[in-house]
Each structure stands twice: as structure tokens, then as C-alpha cells.
Amino acid sequence: MERSQIEAKLTDLLVDELGLERDDITMEAKFEEDLDVDSLGVVELLMALEDNFDVKIPDEEAEKITTVGEAADLVNQKLNG
Amino acid sequence: MDRRRVVITGMGTVNPLAHSVDDFWEALLDGKSGAGPITLFDPEGLGTQIAAEVKDFDPEVYMPRKDSRRLDRSTMLFWAATKQAFDDADLAFEDGDPASLRAGVVCGTGIGGIGTTQQQMGVLAERGSSRVSPLAIPMIMSNQAAGAVSIDFHLGGPSTCTVTACAASANAIGDAAEIIRRGVTDVMVAGGMEGAVTAFAMGGFSSMKALSSRNDEPHRASRPFDKDRDGFLLGEGAGSLILESLEHATARGAKIYGEVSGYGMSADAYHITLPRPGGGGAARAMQGALDDARVASDTVDYINAHGTSTPANDVTETLAIKTVFGDAAYDIPVSSTKSMTGHMLGGAGAVEAVIALKSLAEGVVPPTINYTTPDPECDLDYVPNEAREAKVNSVLSNSFGFGGHNVSLLFTSV
């Protein structure tokens, strides 16, 4: 999967699963500060990423994610090495 | 020392008949039924396939989906009713405002977030415990609604939850009034809700043979005190009241619907679901409310009955009313509005408190609909089928729960 496809699918998940506004989502946006996604929301997102991209994200990697772009990076790395 | 008086200055409800107090009252006086075929899930195979659902409830009217998706349906119903109640009371608090620290909430529910429980149990069964949502616990908790209301309406005083089955929100109102009487707060949100029209809850109630199975005539299924009643009609909904000390309400010039003047409680101490035959427990709750208000039984103008439409409740409650009021029981209008709303379980006491207070304010008693065949064992004046104008200065409202919890509240004009 191309990086751009990952970003598009990630954006869809944030809208569909977490109920965020599409216009607010940029790759630079910080979950907590910019998108008002708290720690529970981040866990929901990670579970959605695992389900939808068919990847495994260990807690120690998950804890480093603070922006949408970092989440896309992590998925990209899992899928494309 | 005279205790502080507690009055109601705002009301809200979301229930099977309406999404506002005014529309609700109009529907009640018209004798409408909120029942219909179940739409919230596929009831295929169940003995009972009807319920009184809240129609067209859209949480996004009240908050963005990002927030509403973190609240169970039952919590959302109470939240919506509470928003209406604050607007009606023309009252609001800001976060950190000193007054907000003297305002709290008591919210009752029978089984809390059972819809979420059922949904997440499905995830557990299909995919294992590691896939259970991080929102499962906060959404399942019976106290989620009290918590959410304290957060969003900035209430820094006591925040608690009563879980006494179908008596829950009557307990909530009584307990909230006690908190104000003790001087701990000046304002309390009090009420409760249920959102249990789910396959799991319907299956359980259906297996208990507690529900009406009049699937072909949903509007006629709930028929309290009628000889042909065959069980209750499950409803869902919420009621929320703003309680204030009389001084606080008067000082800010609030409109006052009435006073919480008596709160009586008892336990049947008899059976996990059946009422104690003879209705002694229910009678002690009613007498307790009168004693708490320090009034005699001849002051009661209307009784909003628990009146579930089950064979056992309606006979027992009738006996209990006769125990308390003697021969005068025959002269008091007694109606069960569950004939129209269905039985909203933990929400029933609060929604029926709204009815009691509207009845005080409007001088009209809502009917018991579907009353066609008298039962020799239920021989009081049940206000059959038509609303009635009456002098109403005092209303007793009964709520009895599985487990033997009996609560009676007395509301009076100020």
C-alpha cells in the first residue's frame, strides 16, 4: 500500500471511528492538543489501525505516537518496511 | 428546627411519546401510546416483539459525534433531558464558579449501559478480551450518566447514582432532596433513565414472563389495572428535574413547579422479583412519604401509580393504596401513565415525577388508557381512558423495583 493510500485510509478511520471532523485532520495535527483525542481515543485508534491495516502495534511503539503523521509512519513501516 | 424546603424549578424528558415536556404532556392528555414493533434490533424468535422506544433520537442534536459516541444510549437520554431541564430552569454553571460547587447530581438507572455491555460481550465472544474497547467500562458503568452530567454541566457538588431497578430515579429525586435539606448543596439535578430495549434485556424479561405478548396490538399492550393485562410493556427514556432549596429558587426569582415534600422507602424483604402479597411494603413506602411531609392521607389529590400492567403489581398496589387511605382510597384518582409510556424501568420514577408536577401545575390528571374490563381485585378510580380536570395540590408517585425496593414521593404545590 502506498503512503498516500495509508494516509487516506487513516483519515477515514479518524472520521468514521473516532468521529473527528475531516477538515481538522492534517498529518501534522497532534492528537491531544489539536484534535482533542485523549489516551482512550488513542487506544481506540490503535485498535482500529490493527484491524484495518492488519498489523500488530506493540505498546512501546504505540506510546511514541503523538501526531497523525507519526501514526501513518508507523503503519507504513509495518507494511512497507 | 424547620428543615430546608426543596422545590422543582426545571424539568426535561426524552421518552417514547415526546422529546420535550410540553409535547409529552399534550400526548398524555390525548391518551396516546408510545408502543410499537421493536426497531432497535431484530426481535425474531422472541415471545414479545413490541416495546415503547424513544423515536428518532439523534445524540448529535446535543453534542458532536466525537463526544456522543463515548456515551451509552441511556446516558445520552439523561443528558438530553438534563439539558432541557437546565434551560427550563434558566440556570447554568461555569466550571470553577463557586456556585457550581454547591450543585450536584443524583441519577438513577436500573441496568445502566446494558446496550454497550451486550455489544462488547459480542466482541469478547468473537474476538477475545484484547479487542474489548477502552470505552467499554466507562460506557457500561451505571454511574456514567451522573458523571457525564457533572462534567458537562459543571456540577462540583455530590455526584452519585441510585441503582434500585424500577425505583431508581424515584430514589434519585428523594436522595437529591435530602442532600439539599442537609444544606450540602443549593441545587441538584435529579432523575434517571433506561435504555434497555436490547436483545439481551428483552430476552431476560421475556423469559421471566414479565412482558405483555400482545404483539398484534402494541398500543393496547400496556393496560394497567385492566382484567386482561398480561405483563408490562418495556419502555426506554429519561426524566430530569432541577431541584433547589426554596430560598435559592426564590432569591433568583425562578418559576416553581412544586415541592418535594415527602420521601418514603421500604423493602418488601420477600422475593427477588415478586411483590409481597398484600402490599405491606408498598403501603409503608406511601405512609412514609406522608409522614415525612407531616401531612394526613386525606390531603392527597392524585396518585400516579407504579401500575406496571403485570397481574401481580396492580393487585398488590391496589391493596397497598387501600391500606394507607382506607375507604377514602375510592375517592382518589389513581392512574398509571405506563399505559402510554410503557415501563421505563430506572427512568420511570423521574418521568412520572414530571407528570406529577405538570398535574399540579395544570390541574389535570392524565388517564390510564386501555382500561376496558374491570378486575374485581382492582376496584379503585383509575381515571379510565380520558384525562380529567381536578383540583390537584398534592400528588403521590409510586415506584417499586425488582428486589423489593419501594419508593413513594409526595409532590405538593407551593
pLDDT digits over B64-81, tens only? 999 999 999 999 999 999
Name the grid cell of B400. Answer: 417499586
The rounded percent of chain A whose pLDDT value lies above 70 is: 100
Cβ contact B66–A43 (<8 Å): no
* Of A21, A36, A47, Cβ closest to residue B131: A47
Nearest to B72 by CA among B135, B18, B160: B135
Rounded to an integer, what distance in angstroms lies between the CA atom of residue B301 and that of residue B260? 15
Residues B111-131 have pLDDT tens digits of 999 999 999 999 999 999 999
Give which of B156, B247, B149 is closest to B189, Cα–Cα.
B149
Average pLDDT over residues A59-77: 94
Could you give the CA distance from residue B290 to residue B261 in angstroms, rounded to a whole number?
8
Cα–Cα distance for residue pair A24/A35, rounded to 1 Å = 7
pLDDT over 90 percentage in chain A? 95
CA distance A65 to chain B (A): 17
| A22 CB burial (10 A radius; 0-12, 13-18, 19+) | exposed
How many Å lie between the alpha carbon of A80 and the closest alpha carbon of chain B? 25
pLDDT of residue B106 exceeding 90 = yes
The two most distant CA atoms of chain B are separated, in Å, by 63
Mean pLDDT of B368-376: 98
Query: What is the percent of chain B where pLDDT is above 90?
Result: 99
Q: Which of B64, B65, B134 sits opposite A44 (nearest CB)?
A: B134
Does A47 contact B133 at a Cβ distance shorter than 8 Å? yes
> What three-state secondary structure class fits B217?
coil
Condensed to tens digits (0 to 9), the pLDDT of residues B81-105 reads 999 999 999 999 999 999 999 999 9
Q: Assess contact for B328 and B208: CB atoms under 8 A.
A: no
Closest CA to B369 of B217, B246, B254: B217
C-alpha cell at B71: 456515551
Query: A23 catalytic, yes or no?
Result: no
Please determine, for residue B2, whether its predicted confidence score (pLDDT) is greater than 90.
Answer: no
CB B390 within 8 A of CB B363: yes
Contact between A71 and A65 (Cβ < 8 Å): yes
pLDDT tens column, B220-278: 999 999 999 999 999 999 999 999 999 999 999 999 999 999 999 999 999 999 999 99
Mutate to test the interface with A, among B65, B66, B133 (most CBs of A within 10 A): B66
Task: Give the mean pLDDT of A42-59.
Answer: 95
CB within 8 Å: A40 and B67: no
C-alpha cell of B28? 398524555
- pLDDT band at residue B1 using 50, 70 and 90 as cut-offs: low
A19, A21, A44: residue with CB nearest B133: A44
Does the pLDDT at position A64 exceed 70? Answer: yes
B306 given a catalytic annotation: yes
Helix residue spans in B160-229 (DSSP H): 168-181, 199-207
Portion of chain B with pLDDT greater than 70, in percent: 100
Which chain B residues touch A44 with a CB distance below 8 Å? 133-135
Phi first, then psi: give them for residue B308, nearest 5 degrees.
Answer: -80, -15
HEC states along chain A? Answer: CCHHHHHHHHHHHHHHCCCCCHHHCCCCCEHHHHHCCCHHHHHHHHHHHHHHHCCCCCHHHHCCCCEHHHHHHHHHHHHHC
Q: What is the mean pLDDT of residues B340-362?
A: 98
Window from A59-63, B31-35, B48-52, B236-240 with minimum mean pLDDT: A59-63
Start-to-end C-alpha separation, chain A: 11
Give me the interface pTM, i.e. the ipTM: 0.93
Q: Is pLDDT of B297 > 70?
A: yes
Q: One of A34, A38, A59, A73 is an active-site residue; which one?
A: A38
Reply yes or no on whether the pLDDT at B172 is more than 60.
yes
| Structure confidence at residue B30 (pLDDT) | 98
Backbone angles phi, psi at B365, to 5 degrees: -105, 125
Quick one: closest CA in A to B67, which residue?
A19
Q: What is the band of B219 on the pLDDT scale with cuts at 50, 70, 90?
A: very high
Helix (H, G, I), strand (E, B) or coil at B236: coil
According to the model, what pLDDT value does residue A81 have? Answer: 83
**Closest-approach residue (CA) in chain B for A43:** B134
When the pLDDT of each residue in chain B is averaged and rounded to a whole number, the result is: 97
Cβ burial of B223 (10 Å; 0-12, 13-18, 19+) is: buried
The alpha carbon of B51 is separated from its chain's Cα centroid by a whole number of angstroms, namely 16
Instruction: Mark yes or no for CB contact B65/A19 under 8 Å.
Output: yes
